[in-house]
Structure 1
């Protein structure tokens, strides 16, 4: 079992299903379903580029996780080992679709990558902002959250717990990300690692970031908003994982990050379900508070009785 960088079993085929959902803090009058797209690059035309072993595990876990959360996952929206032309054409077609029946969009891109937001395709590279930029002019996605998640290296550097490696310092995200043409309202852009650094992947268990994302979304996805889930995922990756470089006696770490232009909280579950869950949590907290008050009162009464004796 080895840990690789984005420098197993076959894909699970699960029955598609739809479910109503909400993205607003205030329950909307109309709730619709969420939509999901994914590009998974595991093999490459250039044989000098390492095969991304373990990526299918990520794909399987993402499918299971997001179907449970109510996403409409169609097999045609999962692209394996696609060329640059196919990816551009498919994303352009998706971006031109009518999303009136949906209230959010989530897009995953799993591949090798390099600095300045470049992502590998089967036969070349593509800029990350060219992906989310294609959805900017779609009127049916206006005022709806759009999350783009990139599981890929962004350089060859490593964050360490010991002596630092000799890679040049870099910005957390490329300056081009913040150019006016590359950002627009209601975006959540999530990177598995900071600019200039590698992103780790286990050849059997999948990538650190995607596996933790699936765990946290599965456990807390019906309660917390998406930004809180990403923060929780980032904490788990940064705190719980390390890769030991034996010859240098140092441990390599990984720090995910995100860029957000969201204008309201983004939830993945049905409003009434979330409201019920929050009421249960609130009731439990109130019960615990009352039990603490009763226990305190009993202790105080016991002390008074001892003093009277």
Structure 2
């Protein structure tokens, strides 16, 4: 279903600390060439003094400045991320306070669909904005993934980086829109990507909660094959319903999962290399931030301009597949 939707402003934040693949390879005693060949990543950013909240604040301020909107014009704040700043209250409420936004002016909530959080938020917010329930929304994704990475497992640790990205959303004037969106979950793959601790099932204070339960766990090859098996038919159905020919799409922004995943998007779906936007080599997989960060950087570089046709694609734990088509 199509909705008028305009990204009025966009911003991003990257931590200052750069961690190279060579550094990680030395830490794990692995050939750096092997890691880079497998992942496609040369470096990534790790938060130092930054938190998920402070990174979200920086990205949000940049998006607001880019849109030239004041905080009192925002009536909803949504943080769409896999990693929360703390259990309670929602990160969005903490962000309202950190931004010194007018209290009582905006509603706040969080949304978690892991790597698909930002994209799913676009689908859910578009009809709310179109109906007038909310006029202007600040949508932020912020991930400090580095704190949950297993220090004994280079295969997943080498993939991830930290970052934040934000957009200001409002009703489009006809030239900008969300053209189509599609999401589906295959819960029979839910055990392939997990963090078992941190919730009520394995509460941090429970006697049977072990430190290993708080590390990120991914059965990478199995998860990759699972997504690959379902992705082509999923995306082909999405594109058929969308009605755009591949040649009419100005940019495809895939979730920056790993090198092989991005290569498969291009090869299996028939896109040209210059259509696919990737910052994987220098950013890594930033979980929910991957897609909006790549979008923000492409806009800043002039690669994406107003009126361009965009397709956002990806997968996340669950296992959930998602696709969103926008006219930027």
Give the TM-score normalised by structure 1: 0.28
Q: Which has the higher contact order (CA 8 A, sep 6+)?
A: 2
Q: Answer with 1 or 2: which has the greater Rg.
A: 1
